[in-house]
Protein backbone atom coordinates (compact mmCIF):
# COMPACT_ATOMS: atom_id res chain seq x y z
CA UNK A 1 0.00 0.00 0.00
CA UNK A 2 1.24 3.46 -0.94
CA UNK A 3 0.26 6.63 0.88
CA UNK A 4 0.70 9.59 -1.44
CA UNK A 5 -0.95 12.62 -2.94
CA UNK A 6 -3.68 11.50 -5.33
CA UNK A 7 -3.55 12.21 -9.05
CA UNK A 8 -6.43 14.12 -10.70
CA UNK A 9 -8.48 11.00 -11.40
CA UNK A 10 -8.05 9.76 -7.81
CA UNK A 11 -8.92 13.20 -6.45
CA UNK A 12 -12.16 13.12 -8.43
CA UNK A 13 -12.96 9.74 -6.86
CA UNK A 14 -12.23 11.07 -3.37
CA UNK A 15 -14.40 14.13 -3.94
CA UNK A 16 -17.27 11.92 -5.08
CA UNK A 17 -17.06 9.93 -1.83
CA UNK A 18 -16.63 12.92 0.50
CA UNK A 19 -20.37 13.30 1.25
CA UNK A 20 -20.35 9.74 2.63
CA UNK A 21 -17.27 10.58 4.70
CA UNK A 22 -18.98 13.67 6.12
CA UNK A 23 -22.19 11.77 6.84
CA UNK A 24 -20.38 8.96 8.68
CA UNK A 25 -17.96 11.31 10.47
CA UNK A 26 -20.84 13.35 11.86
CA UNK A 27 -22.75 10.19 12.82
CA UNK A 28 -25.46 10.96 10.30
CA UNK A 29 -26.16 14.44 11.65
CA UNK A 30 -24.93 16.33 8.60
CA UNK A 31 -25.75 15.57 5.01
CA UNK A 32 -24.15 17.79 2.41
CA UNK A 33 -24.84 18.03 -1.25
CA UNK A 34 -21.99 17.13 -3.56
CA UNK A 35 -21.61 20.59 -5.07
CA UNK A 36 -21.43 22.45 -1.74
CA UNK A 37 -18.95 19.99 -0.24
CA UNK A 38 -16.72 20.15 -3.31
CA UNK A 39 -16.71 23.97 -3.08
CA UNK A 40 -15.54 23.79 0.54
CA UNK A 41 -12.85 21.21 -0.19
CA UNK A 42 -11.58 23.01 -3.29
CA UNK A 43 -11.36 26.23 -1.26
CA UNK A 44 -9.23 24.38 1.33
CA UNK A 45 -7.02 22.99 -1.44
CA UNK A 46 -6.57 26.47 -2.94
CA UNK A 47 -5.38 27.62 0.49
CA UNK A 48 -2.75 24.86 0.66
CA UNK A 49 -4.57 21.87 2.14
CA UNK A 50 -4.09 18.54 0.40
CA UNK A 51 -5.10 14.91 0.44
CA UNK A 52 -2.94 11.91 1.10
CA UNK A 53 -4.52 8.70 -0.14
CA UNK A 54 -3.90 5.07 0.75
CA UNK A 55 -3.77 3.27 -2.59
CA UNK A 56 -3.14 -0.33 -3.51
CA UNK A 57 -3.45 -1.89 -6.97
CA UNK A 58 -4.85 1.40 -8.32
CA UNK A 59 -7.68 1.31 -5.77
CA UNK A 60 -8.28 4.02 -3.18
CA UNK A 61 -8.61 2.50 0.28
CA UNK A 62 -8.88 5.72 2.26
CA UNK A 63 -7.59 9.27 2.64
CA UNK A 64 -6.72 12.12 4.93
CA UNK A 65 -7.15 15.82 4.18
CA UNK A 66 -4.56 17.96 5.95
CA UNK A 67 -3.75 21.65 6.04
CA UNK A 68 -3.61 24.47 8.52
CA UNK A 69 -5.91 26.55 10.67
CA UNK A 70 -5.39 29.95 12.29
CA UNK A 71 -6.32 30.40 15.94
CA UNK A 72 -8.75 33.31 16.15
CA UNK A 73 -7.54 34.39 19.57
CA UNK A 74 -3.76 34.48 19.19
CA UNK A 75 -3.17 34.26 15.40
CA UNK A 76 -1.13 31.08 15.88
CA UNK A 77 -1.24 28.77 12.85
CA UNK A 78 -1.46 25.04 13.53
CA UNK A 79 -1.63 21.94 11.39
CA UNK A 80 -5.14 20.58 10.95
CA UNK A 81 -6.70 17.26 9.99
CA UNK A 82 -9.90 18.11 8.13
CA UNK A 83 -10.98 14.67 7.05
CA UNK A 84 -10.03 11.05 7.61
CA UNK A 85 -11.88 8.24 5.90
CA UNK A 86 -11.34 4.58 5.09
CA UNK A 87 -13.71 2.78 2.76
CA UNK A 88 -15.80 0.21 4.59
CA UNK A 89 -14.27 -2.84 2.89
CA UNK A 90 -10.78 -1.82 4.06
CA UNK A 91 -11.54 -1.00 7.69
CA UNK A 92 -9.87 -2.85 10.54
CA UNK A 93 -6.54 -3.15 8.72
CA UNK A 94 -4.69 -0.24 10.35
CA UNK A 95 -5.11 2.09 7.38
CA UNK A 96 -6.46 4.99 9.49
CA UNK A 97 -3.46 4.76 11.79
CA UNK A 98 -1.06 4.80 8.84
CA UNK A 99 -2.86 7.72 7.20
CA UNK A 100 -2.78 9.76 10.42
CA UNK A 101 0.88 8.91 10.95
CA UNK A 102 1.74 10.06 7.44
CA UNK A 103 -0.36 13.20 7.88
CA UNK A 104 1.37 14.00 11.16
CA UNK A 105 4.78 13.51 9.51
CA UNK A 106 3.84 15.87 6.66
CA UNK A 107 2.55 18.56 9.02
CA UNK A 108 5.56 18.21 11.31
CA UNK A 109 7.91 18.55 8.32
CA UNK A 110 6.01 21.70 7.31
CA UNK A 111 6.97 23.20 10.67
CA UNK A 112 3.73 23.11 12.65
CA UNK A 113 4.23 22.85 16.40
CA UNK A 114 0.75 21.44 17.02
CA UNK A 115 -1.97 19.60 15.10
CA UNK A 116 -5.69 20.01 15.71
CA UNK A 117 -8.77 18.13 14.56
CA UNK A 118 -12.48 18.06 15.34
CA UNK A 119 -14.56 14.94 15.91
CA UNK A 120 -18.21 14.39 16.73
CA UNK A 121 -18.87 12.97 20.18
CA UNK A 122 -19.39 9.24 19.82
CA UNK A 123 -17.23 8.91 16.71
CA UNK A 124 -15.23 5.68 17.07
CA UNK A 125 -12.15 7.40 15.61
CA UNK A 126 -11.73 9.39 18.84
CA UNK A 127 -10.20 6.30 20.50
CA UNK A 128 -7.63 6.09 17.72
CA UNK A 129 -6.81 9.79 17.98
CA UNK A 130 -6.27 9.45 21.73
CA UNK A 131 -4.04 6.38 21.25
CA UNK A 132 -1.93 8.46 18.89
CA UNK A 133 -1.48 11.20 21.49
CA UNK A 134 -4.27 13.65 20.71
CA UNK A 135 -5.86 15.23 23.80
CA UNK A 136 -9.32 16.65 24.26
CA UNK A 137 -8.89 20.42 24.65
CA UNK A 138 -12.29 21.91 24.01
CA UNK A 139 -15.84 20.71 24.09
CA UNK A 140 -18.37 22.16 21.67
CA UNK A 141 -21.92 21.85 22.89
CA UNK A 142 -25.24 22.38 21.16
CA UNK A 143 -28.80 23.07 22.18
CA UNK A 144 -31.45 22.18 19.59
CA UNK A 145 -34.23 24.75 19.63
CA UNK A 146 -37.76 23.79 18.78
CA UNK A 147 -40.07 26.36 17.29
CA UNK A 148 -43.84 25.94 17.26
The per-residue pLDDT for range 1-45, each reduced to its tens digit, is 999 999 999 999 999 998 888 878 776 666 667 788 888 899 999
- 3-state SS track over the chain: CEEECCCHHHHHHHHHHHHHHHHHHCCCCCCCCHHHHHHHHHHHHHCCCEEEEEEECCEEEEEEEEEEEECCCCCCEEEEEEEEEECHHHCCCCHHHHHHHHHHHHHHHCCCCCEEECCCCCCCHHHHHHHCCCCCCCCCCCCCCCCC
The per-residue pLDDT for range 51-83, each reduced to its tens digit, is 999 999 999 999 999 999 998 888 899 999 999
Structural domains in the chain, sorted by start: 2-131 (3.40.630.30)
Amino acid sequence: MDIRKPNEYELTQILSLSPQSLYEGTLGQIESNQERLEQIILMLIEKGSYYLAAIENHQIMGWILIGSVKNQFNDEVNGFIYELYVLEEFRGKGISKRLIGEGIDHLKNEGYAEIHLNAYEGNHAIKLYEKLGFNRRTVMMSLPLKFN
